Chain A
Amino acid sequence: MSSKKQCSQPGESTGNSTETRRDFIKKSSFLTAIALTPVTIVKSAEKQWDEKFADIFEKVPLTLEVNGVKHSLSVEPRTTLLDLLREEFALTGTKKGCDRGQCGACTVHVNGVRINSCLSLAITNSGKKVTTIEGLANGDDLHPMQEAFIKHDGFQCGYCTSGQIMSATALVKEGHTHSEAEIKEFMSGNICRCGAYPNIVKAIQEVKGGQPS
């Protein structure tokens, strides 16, 4: 996690005068400040929020498994899971579209269930396992859904794609793939402004084993 303190990725940082979109989002969203805390302290500290309130500026301990790696840290209670993943863990594959539950770009799995990370306060996920798009591939082997999205051109600009793929992998597990109509209905929480929907449906149909129509 030591190298993950950096918020921007190589090649994404700013010039002096021009602001990148990412910088703009960083400024307009609230910047999380998180300190690493030894696990033992976190454990004993976690108990006390049971009966009393954390003080307003107090960070609250949080243990979280992200893509198979356990982390113990402390966060401001108002930090969303999305901001934590992007700003602290530098897992910028998870996108911020609307920040209001309206687009699905921020979809991740928590304990295997797909959710909108923009409306989930990080602290409410304590003790849980988070999987992001970065955690889907097995080394250099892409997840079958990632392969299928590439094969079927399930994207254009790509902004919605990690959310689509996280949603699609959950969908297959949920079993809501009996018909094209059912796939569309249960993928409706992921908006694609480029309109790649038909190819997304084809990719999902291929992975669930049916014939792409």
Chain B
Amino acid sequence: MNQFQYSRPAEIASAIKLLAKDSNGHFLAGGTNLVDLMKMGVVVTNKLVDINHLPLKQIQKTPTGITIGALATNSEVADSAIVKENFPLLSLAINAGASPQLRNMATTGGNLMQRTRCPYFFDITAPCNKRVPGSGCSALQGYNRMHAIFGANDQCIAVNPSDMNVALTALDATVHVSGVKGERKIKFADFHRLPGDHPELDNTLQKGELITAVDIPASPFNKNVYYLKIRDRTSYAFALVSAAAALHIENNTIKGVRLAMGGVAHKPWRLTAAETFLTGKPVNEDNFKQAAQIAMQGAKAYEYNKFKLKLAPNAVIQALKMASGIAS
């Protein structure tokens, strides 16, 4: 790991000021992604601003829902009584990720910002447009088993690896950020981006901006929820495909539904067309199958991830069945 300058501010304003002048500095939260990337030489930084002393650890009810501080750890969020009661989908998704030790370190802000696990992104000898813009995409013709089936292009077919993000997009969260120009809110769906012409940018956070909190609005999705994660081993592995389903059911009718997938795109993938189809329909497997088919429109596979074209819709169907209670 290269050497760097270190700072440990106690206030949000100082943290922002410390990075304001520097285009190559980084905030350090749990370190579970950044320290790894620094060891691998993928991130070479000259300055680290350790944000662990900022007062951003709260998990609280608000008049409109809950607010989660950027430094609340993944374990704290998953185990929080408020979260388990109101947004059990979030607890399920977080607990499906990483390991207990990592979740004890990983923070909400850091999880939002975690980089892709594409092996070519980690291999500093391989071309990668995300790491070195303009160098090419090694995954396109390479071993692209883990890669995207939605929203990708020839510049980048990497996926966002987070489980937490899949639940947060389904729950319509809002990201609060603070920078030299002041504070702003970003809708979760607009936080992560597709590769487009700038695969080096994972999200719409501006350089030097600090995530301060994630808010989740109150919703009726506190009962019929499921997070299905399919991976190469039962635990402690990134998703090949994951599916989050949250249903609001009354008298066997779907009053409201939220659906999202992970491991399939450069951003957590919300299935809005499938949601529209299901709304107002009765709970049954046939409707779930049709919804999954709608969700798969526009999917495109590469040489080694063709299996995802079948795995993804089946994951959506199974998640819906588990959430609605017609399968266990």
Contacts and interface: CB of A to CB of B under 8 A. Distances in A.
A119 B9 contact: no
Most buried by B among A30, A57, A80, A124: A124
Interface in B27-83: 28, 30-32, 35-36, 38-40, 46-48, 50, 52, 75
A96 to B, nearest CB: 12
A101 B36 CA distance: 8
A49 B102 contact: no
B325 to A, nearest CB: 20
Place the interface of chain B in its size category: 35 or more
B101 A51 contact: no
Given A123-B50, A124-B28, A185-B235, A77 B102 contact: no
Contacts of A60: 6
A100 B36 contact: yes
Interface residues of A, number: 41
B5 A116 contact: no
B304 interface: no
B104 A124 contact: no
Contacts of A57: 3
Contacts of B100: 114, 167, 170-171, 174, 176, 186, 188-189
A188 B236 contact: yes
Contacts of B31: 119-121, 124
Nearest to B9: A50
Contacts of B46: 56
Contacts of B105: 115-116, 119-120
B125 to A, nearest CB: 17
A76 interface: yes
Interface in A97-144: 99-101, 104, 107, 113-116, 119-121, 123-124
Nearest to A98: B36
Interface in B1-18: 1-10, 14, 18
Nearest to B237: A188
Contact of A53 (B5, B30, B39, B234): B5
A52 B7 contact: yes
B14 A119 contact: no
A5 interface: no
Contact of A77 (B6, B36, B236): B6
B10 A50 contact: yes
A57 B2 CA distance: 11
Contact of A113 (B6, B8, B32, B104): B104
Nearest to A57: B3
B1 A189 contact: no
B276 interface: no
Contact of B18 (A53, A104, A119, A185): A53
Interface string A164-187: 000100110010100000001110
A19 interface: no
A4 interface: no
A51 B102 contact: no
A100 B234 CA distance: 20
Contacts of A80: 35
B4 A104 contact: no
Contact of B101 (A53, A99, A114): A114
A78 interface: yes
B23 interface: no
Interface string A181-212: 00011101111000000000000000000000
A116 B3 contact: no
A39 B182 CA distance: 39
Nearest to A79: B1
Given A50-B9, A56-B3, A189 B99 contact: yes
B6 A123 contact: yes
Interface in B90-137: 98-102, 104-105
7 contacts: A51-B9, A100-B39, A174-B100, A189-B98, A189-B101, A189-B102, A189-B236
Given A124-B52, A189-B102, 17 more contacts: A51-B9, A51-B18, A56-B46, A99-B39, A100-B36, A100-B40, A104-B101, A113-B104, A116-B101, A116-B102, A119-B31, A119-B102, A167-B100, A171-B100, A174-B100, A185-B234, A191-B236
Interface of B: 1-10, 14, 18, 28, 30-32, 35-36, 38-40, 46-48, 50, 52, 75, 98-102, 104-105, 234-236
Interface of A: 30, 49-57, 60, 76-78, 80, 99-101, 104, 107, 113-116, 119-121, 123-124, 167, 170-171, 174, 176, 184-186, 188-191
Closest 8 CB pairs of A and B: A189-B99, A188-B235, A77-B6, A53-B5, A188-B236, A53-B7, A49-B8, A189-B101
